[in-house]
């Protein structure tokens, strides 16, 4: 008899247009923060990123959202 597992894993398939993402270095420069600060924000869950083939990419929409939020 199989064991009951209370953990559920959801896998989401995401389609990414590579013209709509920035590298972490590009995103940090565009936002106006340092590379380390960008990674702290990613780790804190303040910034959505896409991991693709070992690379961390920041969607253009996230860069625009952060820039807009810091202008206010």
3-state secondary structure of 24: helix
- pTM, rounded to two decimals: 0.72
- Residue 37 domain flag: yes
Which residue range(s) make up the domain with 59? 18-71
Tens of pLDDT, residue by residue over 3-25, are 555 666 666 666 666 678 999 99
Residue-wise pLDDT for 34-62, tens only, equals: 999 999 999 999 999 988 888 999 999 99
**What is the model's pLDDT at position 19?**
77
Q: What is the mean pLDDT of residues 26-34?
A: 95
- The answer to whether position 2 is within a domain reads no
First to last CA, the chain: 58
- SS3 at position 48: coil
Q: How many domains does the chain have?
A: 1
pLDDT given at position 34: 95
Cβ pair 58, 30 in contact under 8 A: no
Whether 7 maps to a domain, the answer reads no
CATH of the domain at 26: 1.10.1660
């Amino acid at each position: 008899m199989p064991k009951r597992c209370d953990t559920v894993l959801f896998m989401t398939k995401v389609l990414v247009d590579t013209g709509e993402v920035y590298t972490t270095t590009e995103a940090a420069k565009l936002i106006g923060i340092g590379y380390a600060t960008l990674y702290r924000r990613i780790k804190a869950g303040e910034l959505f990123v896409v991991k693709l083939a070992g690379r961390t990419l920041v969607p253009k929409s996230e860069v625009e959202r952060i820039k807009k939020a810091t202008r206010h």
